[in-house]
């Protein structure tokens, strides 16, 4: 068994802050050196390794700016601002520059494997070190003193990193499969929900109607915080945001109410719910339908209820509210103060095209099959992430040791 010891991060590597990046040098899309900003960590493909950048510079410009050249393999992260709390750590794939809201950890490769170090930092909450001021920040003294449990054997470090990298590969694969399945679903929705493509056996004309002819809207209830956490089930903002279909087992919130309040703010199977207010206009008017029976369920003041007043498949309608053409109407009818807002009157003016009840049900069945496939992939992804988390807890603490591979004879 290999010996491990707790080492200050500053003993097995060094931290380096980023550099100023004047606006006039930004916007170049290719060049010798990527110049990463905090937002670049959000780019697709940059989940672990920094493969893409929005800005590049030449070596001559780097010298002109006096920007530090950070070596490939360094681990970068946010050191200033709210992004510190997002806990994102990424690995550079080539020599790069980083802006002054970021820092880099450059490991001593004779003592510490870079990928293993990345897992160590990923397992730490650097935000717990941030100064509690108006602008959260990490300083070099705090970072250097971070305690890292480091096996003395580089071979063991690499075995651990390899096992965790295999787990990451599975997570990445499942993520790609989910993205592909969502893209396919989006295409199917665009074809079927607009009538551009018809299912076999259906040819009746679709009717365009304002939503006000299909649904009656009502605002949800507002209660003080002490009433929440016990009582009757409540459909909340996040229940609506998660997916266009709300199953009974997803309604987890509880609120204590009188029988009169339960009656006035009831949530029934087939009711639609719409997000009413948010800081982002992209989050208002998001629709979901309750497809299960939840005894005494009610709905939150942050959402609107749309109860059918005409024959309509509300699951079909909830899917329609995901279409770009419908979303544009929702945004256009919204109001803006300090927050984006919508209401029943605004949503009622949205116009949708509706086929016969039978065709609505057939389209919903096709989309439901796709949702089942997506849900299965998402369960596998959650399981893979949970397994990786457990592996990190065991391997990075030394509770479990990986056997050394025997050389082939």
Question: What are the tens digits of pLDDT across the range 105-128?
Answer: 999 999 999 999 999 999 999 999
Mean per-residue pLDDT over the chain, rounded? 94
Alpha carbon distance 320, 241 (integer Å): 15
Reference 51, options 112, 4, 96; nearest CA is 96
Return the H-helix or E-strand segment holding 395. Answer: helix 357-395
Q: What is the pLDDT of residues 73-110, one digit of tens each?
A: 999 999 999 899 999 999 999 999 999 999 999 999 99
Q: What stretches of 98-223 show up as alpha helix (H) in DSSP?
A: 114-122, 140-144, 154-192
Residue 96 phi/psi, 5-degree rounding, is -150, 170
Give the pLDDT confidence score for residue 409 in this predicted structure. Answer: 47
- Give CA torsion, residues 42, 44, 50, 55, to 10 deg: -70
Report the 10 Å Cβ neighbour count for 321: 24
Q: What is the pLDDT of residues 6-36, one digit of tens each?
A: 999 999 999 999 999 999 999 999 999 999 9
Q: Does domain 153-203+356-402 correspond to CATH entry 1.10.287.1120?
A: yes
- Give CA torsion, residues 262, 246, 308, 368, to 10 deg: -160
User: Chain-centre distance of CA 30, in angstroms?
Assistant: 28
Q: Is the pLDDT of residue 176 over 60?
A: yes
Reference 383, options 393, 395, 391, 372; nearest CA is 391
Kindly state which CATH superfamily the domain 4-152 is placed in.
DNA methylase specificity domains (3.90.220.20)
Range 183-212 average pLDDT: 95
Q: Is the pLDDT of residue 340 over 70?
A: yes
Q: Is the pLDDT of residue 408 over 60?
A: no
Kindly state which CATH superfamily the domain 207-354 is placed in.
DNA methylase specificity domains (3.90.220.20)
The band of 336, judged by pLDDT with boundaries at 50, 70 and 90, is confident
Q: Environment class of residue 382 by beta-carbon count within 10 Å: exposed (0-12), middle (13-18) or buried (19+)?
A: exposed
Q: Which DSSP state fits 276?
A: -
Reference 300, options 338, 252, 336, 348; nearest CA is 252
CB of 74 within 8 A of CB of 105?
A: yes
Range 361-383 average pLDDT: 94
The band of 1, judged by pLDDT with boundaries at 50, 70 and 90, is low
Distances (CA, A) of 265 to 15, 199, 245, 260, 273: 55, 38, 20, 9, 12
Residue 262 region by backbone torsions, left for phi larger than 0, else alpha for psi between -120 and 50, else beta: alpha
Alpha carbon distance 221, 298 (integer Å): 8
CB of 70 within 8 A of CB of 97?
A: yes
Reference 99, options 146, 143, 33; nearest CA is 33
Name the 3-class secondary structure at 263. Answer: helix
Work out whether strand 277-278 and strand 340-341 pair parallel, antiparallel, or are unpaired.
antiparallel
CB of 129 within 8 A of CB of 33?
A: no
Reference 49, options 88, 80, 16; nearest CA is 88
Range 319-324 average pLDDT: 95
Return the H-helix or E-strand segment holding 304. Answer: strand 303-308
Work out whether strand 147-151 and strand 4-8 pair parallel, antiparallel, or are unpaired.
antiparallel
Range 59-76 average pLDDT: 97
153-203+356-402 against 207-354: fold identical: no
| Residue-range domain boundaries for the chain | 4-152, 153-203+356-402, 207-354
pLDDT higher for 304 or 82? Answer: 304
Give the pLDDT confidence score for residue 135 in this predicted structure. Answer: 84
Q: What is the pLDDT of residues 277-292, one digit of tens each?
A: 988 888 899 999 999 9
Give the pLDDT confidence score for residue 363 in this predicted structure. Answer: 97
Q: What stretches of 248-356 show up as alpha helix (H) in DSSP?
A: 259-264, 314-320, 324-333, 344-348
């Amino acid at each position: 068994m290999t010996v491990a010891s707790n080492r200050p991060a500053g003993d097995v590597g060094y931290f380096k802050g980023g550099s100023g990046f004047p606006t006039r040098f930004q916007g170049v899309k290719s060049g010798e050196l990527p110049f990463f900003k905090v937002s670049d960590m959000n780019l697709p493909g940059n989940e672990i390794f920094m493969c893409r950048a929005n800005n590049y510079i030449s070596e001559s410009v780097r010298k002109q700016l006096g920007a530090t050249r950070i070596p490939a393999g360094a681990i970068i992260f946010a050191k200033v601002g709210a992004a510190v709390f997002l806990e994102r750590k990424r690995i550079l794939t080539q020599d790069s520059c980083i802006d002054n809201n970021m820092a880099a950890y450059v490991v001593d490769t004779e003592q510490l494997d870079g990928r293993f170090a990345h897992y160590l930092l990923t397992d730490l909450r650097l935000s717990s070190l941030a100064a509690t001021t108006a602008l959260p920040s990490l300083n070099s003294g705090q970072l250097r003193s971070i305690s890292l449990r480091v096996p003395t054997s580089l071979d063991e470090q690499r075995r651990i990193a390899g096992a965790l990298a295999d787990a990451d590969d599975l997570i990445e694969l499942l993520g790609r499969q989910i993205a592909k399945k969502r893209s396919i679903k989006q295409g199917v929705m665009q074809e079927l929900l607009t009538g551009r493509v018809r299912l076999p056996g259906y040819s009746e004309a679709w009717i365009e109607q304002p939503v006000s002819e299909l649904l009656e809207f009502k605002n949800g209830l507002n209660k003080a915080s002490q009433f929440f956490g016990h009582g009757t089930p409540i459909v909340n903002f996040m229940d609506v945001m998660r997916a266009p279909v709300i199953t009974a087992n997803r309604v987890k919130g509880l609120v204590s109410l009188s029988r009169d309040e339960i009656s006035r703010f009831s949530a029934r199977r087939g009711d639609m719910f719409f997000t009413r207010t948010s800081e982002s206009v992209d989050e208002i008017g998001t629709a979901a339908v309750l497809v299960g029976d939840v005894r005494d369920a009610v709905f939150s003041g942050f959402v609107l209820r749309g109860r059918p007043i005409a024959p309509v498949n509300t699951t079909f309608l909830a899917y329609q509210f995901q279409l770009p053409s419908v979303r544009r109407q929702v945004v256009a009818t919204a109001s803006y103060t300090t927050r984006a807002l919508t209401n029943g009157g605004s949503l009622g003016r949205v116009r949708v095209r509706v086929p016969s009840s039978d065709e609505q049900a057939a389209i919903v069945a096709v989309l439901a099959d796709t949702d089942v496939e997506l849900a299965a992939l998402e369960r596998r992804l959650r399981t893979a992430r949970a397994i990786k988390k457990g592996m990190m807890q065991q391997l990075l603490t030394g509770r479990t040791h990986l056997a050394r591979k025997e050389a082939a004879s």
